[in-house]
Amino acid sequence: MLSSATRTLLRRSAAAQAPARTLSTWAQVEMGPPDAILGITEAFKRDTDPRKMNLGVGAYRTDEGKPYVLGAVRKAEELLLAKGLDKEYLPITGLAKFTTAASELAYGADSPALERLAITQTISGTGALRIGGAFLQRFHKTQQTVYLPTPSWGNHAAVFRDCGLKVASYRYYDPATRGLNLGAMLEDIRALPCGSIVLLHACAHNPTGVDPTPAQWQEIQRVVEEREHVAFFDMAYQGFASGNADRDAAALRSFVASGKAPVVLSQSFAKNMGLYGERVGTFSIVGADAGESDRLLSQVKILVRPLYSNPPLNGARIAAEVLTNNQLRTEWLGEVKQMADRIIGMRTALRSRLEELGSAQSWNHITDQIGMFCYTGLKPEQVDRLAKEFHIYLTRDGRVSVAGITSSNVNYLAESIHNVTKD
């Protein structure tokens, strides 16, 4: 309790005159831009119609429409609780057991790159992009622009700009085919100044779901190497795209094996381990040799310390347990495949139902695309109608989170989409 003298002081102060400055310090702070996805969630929450669907959410849902805590994760948590571990600070670069296992998952357990990797645990994928951006801003002075595919994840531009980098784009998605515009992509990447920073989605492109085929990746790799660009891979869906972790990392590994272009990687366990809110990720740089990667890591630490000192404990411990415990790892890979399969199943069901309804349009892209998201090709006016008339919510770029589709609502979704597209 406060002493009476102290309480008197506080009372007197409260009665004292307000500071001379009458204008608030914050008077010139403008309203920040509204978050598009948040807006959809709010509208969805307000909607009372029982058929309502939220297809904006970027988190996996079960066939009952519920969040999913993976069995392997639950077991890992039980094991950890039983161990009674302390909560001491992690080193700046995080839990070594986690980063080692994570690097093996990404690069392949027998990759020679592992011997010369500078890797740090990060605040999930966003944090990894931030550290990567900060590193390039400080040490890649020749080219300070990051080139993103059109379109890309909404937060990419914001993260890189806040690092002090410029942001520009290369063509990627073809609205006509709802697939990849490879020719345009190669042309644009070839035209960039040598040594540009090119951001590549390793698999399950967000928001379009359009991934290059292995042959197309070879062509992309050739151009990136030819122009000596920095390949900045963003891998947020390893295992989640095809159901196979090695297959999903193939493009990344090919670039690394070739060794002709510098590679940096942002890795997230938000989706493939369902660890979303625990913020589990890594950022890594493939160096020339072990000595170099030590040197690079020393610089990465300098970047991390003022941002957040050291990364969070809980999620990294869970991920480390899952990755290094053979039983849990097997169980985990099985669950990731199940999640990927359910999503592929919903894609198939949606497309079939639309075709059954006699839709004149082609819906092949629904099953050609991969991962959590589908770029339906729906126009903003059609998206608005889906919300107003059918209580189905998605972002105005026509992006659907396939994870939000279940066997009980896929027919309703198909009928509604058919309704707004048939004219």
Partner 1 sequence: MSYFSSIPQAPADSILNLSVMSKADPSSSKVDLGVGAYRDDNGKPWVLPVVHKASTRLATDPAFNHEYLPVGGLPALTGGAQALIFGHNSPAVEDKRVYTIQTISGTGANMVGAVFLKQFKRPENAAVYISKPTWGNHRSIFQTAGHEVREYRYCNYETLGLDIDGMLEDLRAAPKGQIVVLHACAHNPTGIDPTAEQWQQIANVMEEREHFPFFDCAYQGFATGDVDRDAFAIRLFVSRGFELLVAESFAKNMGLYGERTGCLHAVTKSSDLIPMVSSQLNRLSRATVSTAAAYGAKVAGTVLQDPELYSEWLGNMTEMSSRIKTMRDALRDKLVALGTPGSWDHVSNQIGMFSFTGLSKAQVAALREKYHMYLTEDGRISVAGLNTNNIDYAAKAIDDVVRNVK
φ and ψ at residue 150, rounded to 5 degrees: -105, 115
Which one from 188, 234, 248, 332 is the annotated catalytic residue?
234
Helix (H) or strand (E) holding 238: none
Give the Cβ contact number of residue 392 at 10 Å. Answer: 26
Which one from 75, 153, 211, 332 is the annotated catalytic residue?
153
Q: Segment 52-71, which members bind partner 1 (CB under 8 A)?
A: 59, 67, 69
Q: Which of 73, 114, 197, 350 binds partner 1 (CB under 8 A)?
A: 73
Q: State the nearest-atom distance from the C-beta of 393 to partner 1, in Å.
A: 17
Q: State the nearest-atom distance from the C-beta of 77 to partner 1, in Å.
A: 7
Tell me the two tokens of residue 7: 């309480």
Q: Which is nearer to partner 1, 129 or 180 (CB)?
A: 129
Q: State the nearest-atom distance from the C-beta of 182 to partner 1, in Å.
A: 27
Q: Segment 173-202, which members bind partner 1 (CB under 8 A)?
A: none
Q: Segment 303-342, which members bind partner 1 (CB under 8 A)?
A: 305-315
Q: Which stretch binds partner 1 (CB under 8 A): 46-54, 168-176, 282-290, 337-345?
A: 282-290
Residue 274 touches partner 1, criterion: CB under 8 A: yes
271 is catalytic: yes
Give the Cβ contact number of residue 167 at 10 Å. Answer: 19
Q: Which of 199, 204, 285, 400 binds partner 1 (CB under 8 A)?
A: 285
Q: Which is nearer to partner 1, 299 or 324 (CB)?
A: 299
Q: Segment 333-392, which members bind partner 1 (CB under 8 A)?
A: none
Cβ contact 171:178 at 8 Å: no
97 is catalytic: no
Residue 47 touches partner 1, criterion: CB under 8 A: no
Give the Cβ contact number of residue 173 at 10 Å. Answer: 23
Tell me the two tokens of residue 89: 């600070």
Residue 290 touches partner 1, criterion: CB under 8 A: no
Q: What's the per-residue H, E or C state across 107-173?
A: HCCCCHHHHHEEEEEEEHHHHHHHHHHHHHHHHCCCCCEEEEEECCCHHHHHHHHHCCCEEEEEECE
Which one from 211, 217, 248, 271 is the annotated catalytic residue?
271
Residue 31 touches partner 1, criterion: CB under 8 A: yes
Q: Which of 279, 347, 365, 399 binds partner 1 (CB under 8 A)?
A: 279
Cβ contact 101:280 at 8 Å: no
Residue 287 touches partner 1, criterion: CB under 8 A: yes
Tell me the two tokens of residue 390: 């059918």
Q: State the nearest-atom distance from the C-beta of 311 to partner 1, in Å.
A: 7
Residue 35 touches partner 1, criterion: CB under 8 A: yes
Cβ contact 239:333 at 8 Å: yes
State the first-to-last Cα distance of the chain, in angstroms, to the nearest integer.
72
Residue 4 touches partner 1, criterion: CB under 8 A: no
Q: Are strands 179-180 and 173-174 parallel, antiparallel or unpaired?
A: antiparallel
- Cα 101 off chain centre by: 20
Q: Which stretch binds partner 1 (CB under 8 A): 83-91, 234-242, 335-343, 398-406?
A: 83-91
Tell me the two tokens of residue 318: 């869970």
Q: Segment 102-131, which members bind partner 1 (CB under 8 A)?
A: 123-124, 126-127, 130
Q: Which of 234, 278, 321, 331 binds partner 1 (CB under 8 A)?
A: 278
**What is the chain's length?**
423
Task: Give the chain's radius of gyration (CA, Å).
Answer: 24
Cβ contact 145:197 at 8 Å: yes
Size of the site for partner 1 (CB under 8 A): 84
Q: Which of 108, 179, 262, 371 binds partner 1 (CB under 8 A)?
A: 262
Positions marked catalytic:
153, 234, 271
